[in-house]
Structure 1
């Protein structure tokens, strides 16, 4: 009985097993058995070439930050130090940019100078306010001392009184301005006149009002 020619031998030299249902590699088009059907199992030459081509054609940019193993497919350049960094260390503060270190003291000095100017202005304003307050307080104290030790002419009358312009009668001290304006018999009613004069406490009025009449 003739042997049926079914199946094919595995192309791996160390195997050469005849498989009735062989596998064809989609990369190198080789025929392989079940054990060597994967590209890695039969060391597919096309897969190796493809990997080498991809490796040669692709470029990665390693991070320049110390002890960082990160890489980026696209360049991430620092505009100051012009070094490549990963996305994690792309900022100047993150990778401790050497250019940033030069600028920090300058910025700190400028900030300190501005702070001193602001503090000096605030201090001068507060000092001016304190000076004005102290001056006002000193003036009040001086006025109190002046009143305490002041002694006027004892011959002067003790009270400044309002007197009737015609009779010279001294008006009551407790009369309010409203009552002097509202009462019909009051001298200030409807725009009348009144005499303002110093009189003795016991005096009830002026004896002679002729000297108070306005000369026209």
Structure 2
């Protein structure tokens, strides 16, 4: 009696299992067992086959209209003025030398023109004379400064506290030190205060000689000369000076009774 064979062997060489319900791969067409029926399991030869797609007939990219530029973009970049297409590097009017570019000066708005006229008018005006602060604001500023001055002021330590008046002394511009906190007696004259400052700060003092320039003291706010013969207490009573005020010591020629620009001493 003839032997009847049923089933088929798996096409995987290391397997060759006889399977009575074999599977046929729809890719390579070979026979496989249950374990190797998937394309990954038997490394189907048709999985990696490059299937040719139909050629795309549309534009693949958009070239730049700028001469000698090889740039291309996947989307159109149209200049709204000349209506030509450009790459991103040449998309601005200035970059592609747009024929519609307005090369004249930008129009000036009425507001800008008005501001220009105001600035020109101010420049042509003569400089205003410096005005000192009013007694009220000067007194307030002096009170604020007084607290700081008391912590670092120098002077005659023998003076009773009730006699002391504190000044922020702006020293001559040609010296190494610009400011010094100092205290003096209310009963002293301005001339004596000048001598005391010169001694403590080691300044040249030719006030008693026929020198061309003399040391003089000025109000730090208004720049007005403080007469050497007057007593400090008189300025305090008239509220022309306050304890905590700034005074300016400077070498000046005879006849100078005001310092025009006190800002340089601040």
TM-score bracket, normalised by the shorter chain, equals 0.3 to 0.5
**Relative contact order, higher structure (CA 8 A, sep 6+):** 2
TM-score (norm. length: structure 2): 0.29
Q: Answer with 1 or 2: which has the greater Rg.
A: 1
Larger relative strand fraction: 2
Normalized per residue, the structure richer in helix is 1
Q: TM-score, normalised by structure 1?
A: 0.34
